[in-house]
A and B are shown apart, each in its own frame.
Chain A
Amino acid sequence: MFTPSIPPVPYADPWLQPLSTRLAMLYRREVRVAYFYEEPNNSTFRYRAYNMAQVLNEPGAGNVSASYFFLADSDRFDEIADAADLLVVCRSRYCHQVNGLITKFRARRKKVLFDVDDLVVDTDYAHLVVATLGLDVTQKGVWDDWFAMIARMNQTLRLCDGAITTNQFLAQKITDCSGLPVSVVPNFMNKEQLAVAEKVFAAKERARFVGNGKITLGYFSGSPSHRLDYAIVEPALADVLSERPSVEVMVVGYIDHGPTMREFGHRISRQPFQDYVNLQRLLGTVEFNLMPLQSNAFTDCKSELKYFEAASVGTLSIASPSFTYSRAIRDGETGYLSKAHEWTESILRAIDRVEAYESMAKQARDDALLKFGWQHQTKTILNALQLA
């Protein structure tokens, strides 16, 4: 385990600004992009609206400015529609207010785009999504909830002129179900994330990537819906713990261990869900970040974010070869790829290549910063918005 001495960062959601401040942010320049999300959160909103606006408000975006708005701002939708030249509706379910907002932009002959980061726009995949998340299908509400949610997303999508998403695989799925043109803007890291990552990486570099003698494998779950993904790697974790006394496991988030892990309880640490800034600190402490995914169309739509968040702090990832992970990670150079039946072998291979760790970690960070750092996204975003 690495022990970079980086103190916890006091954290408050940076997007919790009064509407007046957010409107002022929009008015700053001549070409104005309004991002809309139902209500702010730490995940999709941050990646698909907050981060986008952050990049567009930098000097590199020329005369473009951006801000973000929520359902709670509905009393001021007219003002927003007057002020903005372009609306991007992020992963929002259809309702009278969402339709109303889009209608206001359309009435002003302004373009509206839909942004989504998961395969939640096509009801043909609803059953697969429910199954992949391991939901209890005997609960009738599950079907109502998921079909309604996905159908509402689809309806919002169809009201728009085009879409933006996180990777080509998902882009094709969106085109298939809507017939709309789709652009790709990957998820990427914002300033706050990278500032902490920089400190963590520097501390590890100073220590020449030497830890405390233990090898820690981290699983950062994010939500309980990753239970079945975690199940892919758990038998391998038990094998590795049994074979290598120096290995420990850190689980962050909501995952429960299966019975095979019980005998290793003293070597498993559990951390609560983290805010995204301090998550970088925690990620920096583990040697390997495990990213198992079930293999199907839903998981092929997932973005690279777990890879680049780890890479930015000099932590190597071991990942399932999903559509995005297999394109993001160069096996043996910037991380490792592992098919579902090869996890034990893959983890041991990674552990045994300790001599390659430092150079791989540096390569991975360079790669992540270049492809997924906020500084390199301006052109891609402007292209997707058709403002280039």
Chain B
Amino acid sequence: MSARVRRFVSFWRDHGTRAAVRLVRAKLGSVVAGPPAHEKSLSYLPASSREASGTVQGLAAQRFASTRPIATFLIPRASLRRVSLVTDSIGSGSLFGGVGTALLFAAQLANRLNATLRVVTRTEVASPDNASLILGAYDIHLLHEMQFAFAPWGGRVDSGGEGGLDIHEDEIFVTTSWWTTAATLPGVPHASIIYLLQEDERMFYPFGEDRFHCEQVMLNKDITFVINTRLLYDHLVHTGMEHLNGSAYCFEPAFPKSLFHQRAREQGGKKRFFFYARPHNLRNLFYVGLSVIDRAINEGILDLEQWDVYLVGKDIPDVVFGDGYVPNRCEGLDWSEYADLMGTIDVGLSLMYTPHPSYPPLDLAASGAVVVTNKFANKTDLSQYSSNIICAELELGALVEAVRDGISLAENTELRRRNFLANGLGVDWEKSFEETLVALTASR
């Protein structure tokens, strides 16, 4: 039985047939109407927690389900403080990248404050094993017990119980998106929120309702912002988020050598070309990337006698390059399989149509590969991370030329090795967060 079916059966058992029918209707409705970009999995909304249909509040609650306030209740001060991480999910599919970074940050903040860590998820019940996996992978040991709470968009909290999310007066909330921040704001002191911002989330949307609400949250001056990379910080400050100047903190991600390193390859095998292939994540410019690869093959830049092509990502359609070459497709890799593969790559192409460098180019560079990525706004040069990262204009010809340069650099093993050894990428998350954590905890 699939996880989705199991969740449905469980919901049916908990809420009864009428609620299950309502859920199916809601799901079908969203299929027809199409959910907003950030609301890929519609939450179940028990009838009791819905606003009356037709009212302004009811319409808004339905349209922006993910921002529905998390019900909270205050309990007396505990002997230990608590840091609560509020995120959609820590499911296997979203564990690495931003969610993993958020978990590492919250865990280290909790340890720094001698506090308990709680993970509050909104779209699915948290898997403790996944938390264990990510903390274990980065060798983070929590000082105290970890707690989990499920606070779905529909309002019922099950951690916990069904009485809302218990909070302490001095609790700290690490939110991970504008919508988790919006959902947290109404139920906790605003100053207790640390919004871990890892992308210019305004760019998730066309100019419209979602972008408006997103911007409202990002303009909030009562909460503390911690921003993933200086690049993103600079971009935000220069694009309407002036309030972040001097008040927000930023950090550079880390790529521990235990995870990211070159792996042994079979002697005499072909070289490996990697493409970060996520057609449903529009910012990754899947079709642009395919065109770049196709042209590089057709122009003989990427010689298939010498190179194997790997498309790595999710929901990758059948693709044929050049005269019929079928690339290798890698989907659903767990973190160790992903890291193992990265350690065997010679050249990677990874596009990101936002100011953040994104993780795959940095994962690749940390693993010894040469990477081609695109420029965007103030993202014009990533050599501070690694001279093996080539940042090209976001234009087909420029990207193809960058692939040519990348292949040439990869084949110059000595220069590639020297660049790799001189990488400016951090290798220790503790150091990455140090400055931010010192500043954050000094006043708390």
A and B together in one complex:
yes
- A interface residue numbers (CB < 8 A to B): 122, 124-125, 127-128, 130-138, 169, 228, 232, 235-236, 239, 258-260, 294-297, 300, 320-322, 339-345
Are A294 and B6 CB-contacts (below 8 A) given A125-B75, A340-B128, A342-B132?
no
**Chain A residues whose CB sits within 8 angstroms of the CB of B432 once the complex forms:** none
- Docked-complex contact B163 and A341, CB < 8 angstroms: no
Residue among B79, B144, B157, B163 with max Cβ neighbours from chain A (10 Å): B163
Question: CB of B116 within 8 A of chain A?
Answer: yes
- B interface residue numbers (CB < 8 A to A): 1, 6, 9-10, 48, 73, 75-76, 78-79, 116, 127-129, 131-132, 135, 142, 144-148, 157-164, 166
- Complex CA gap A239/B132 in Å reads 13
**Chain B residues whose CB sits within 8 angstroms of the CB of A320 once the complex forms:** 145
- Docked-complex contact A232 and B128, CB < 8 angstroms: yes
**Chain A residues whose CB sits within 8 angstroms of the CB of B10 once the complex forms:** 258-259
- Complex CA gap A258/B158 in Å reads 14
**Chain A nearest Cβ from B312, distance in angstroms:** 27
Instruction: Provide a sorted-by-A list of 18 A–B residue pairs whose CB atoms are within 8 angstroms.
Output: A124-B76, A125-B75, A127-B164, A128-B166, A131-B73, A131-B160, A131-B161, A132-B160, A137-B162, A228-B158, A295-B147, A296-B75, A296-B147, A297-B75, A297-B76, A321-B144, A339-B142, A341-B148
- Complex CA gap A40/B423 in Å reads 72
- Docked-complex contact A340 and B129, CB < 8 angstroms: no
**Chain B nearest Cβ from A230, distance in angstroms:** 13
What are the 10 closest A-B residue pairs judged by CB atoms, nearest first?
A131-B161, A341-B128, A131-B163, A341-B131, A341-B132, A137-B163, A295-B145, A259-B6, A128-B75, A124-B76
- Complex CA gap A132/B147 in Å reads 12
Contacts A228-B160, A341-B135, A344-B129 known; list 13 others, CB within 8 Å.
A127-B75, A127-B164, A131-B73, A131-B162, A135-B163, A169-B79, A259-B1, A294-B160, A295-B146, A297-B79, A340-B145, A340-B148, A341-B148
- Docked-complex contact B6 and A236, CB < 8 angstroms: no
- Docked-complex contact B161 and A132, CB < 8 angstroms: yes
**Chain A residues whose CB sits within 8 angstroms of the CB of B6 once the complex forms:** 259-260
Q: Which of B76, B132, B162 contacts A134 (CB 8 A)?
A: B162
- Docked-complex contact B48 and A138, CB < 8 angstroms: yes
- Docked-complex contact A235 and B128, CB < 8 angstroms: yes
Closest-by-CB residue of A relative to B133 is A341
Q: Which of B73, B129, B144, B157 contacts A235 (CB 8 A)?
A: B129
- Docked-complex contact A339 and B146, CB < 8 angstroms: yes
Determine the main DSSP class of A at the interface with B: helix
**Chain B nearest Cβ from A332, distance in angstroms:** 16
Closest-by-CB residue of A relative to B73 is A127
**Chain A residues whose CB sits within 8 angstroms of the CB of B127 once the complex forms:** 235
- Complex CA gap A235/B116 in Å reads 21
- Docked-complex contact B78 and A294, CB < 8 angstroms: no
Are A341 and B78 CB-contacts (below 8 A) given A132-B161, A134-B162, A228-B158?
no
**Chain B nearest Cβ from A113, distance in angstroms:** 24
**Chain B nearest Cβ from A236, distance in angstroms:** 7
**Chain A residues whose CB sits within 8 angstroms of the CB of B148 once the complex forms:** 232, 340-341
- Complex CA gap A133/B159 in Å reads 10
Residue among B9, B135, B148 with max Cβ neighbours from chain A (10 Å): B148
- Docked-complex contact B161 and A340, CB < 8 angstroms: no
- Complex CA gap A341/B131 in Å reads 6
- Complex CA gap A124/B157 in Å reads 20
**Chain B residues whose CB sits within 8 angstroms of the CB of A138 once the complex forms:** 48, 162
- Complex CA gap A295/B9 in Å reads 28
Closest-by-CB residue of B relative to A134 is B161
Closest-by-CB residue of B relative to A256 is B13
- Complex CA gap A134/B163 in Å reads 8
- Complex CA gap A340/B116 in Å reads 12
- Docked-complex contact B146 and A135, CB < 8 angstroms: no
- Complex CA gap A124/B1 in Å reads 43
**Chain A residues whose CB sits within 8 angstroms of the CB of B76 once the complex forms:** 122, 124-125, 297
Q: Which of B79, B131, B144, B161 contacts A228 (CB 8 A)?
A: B161
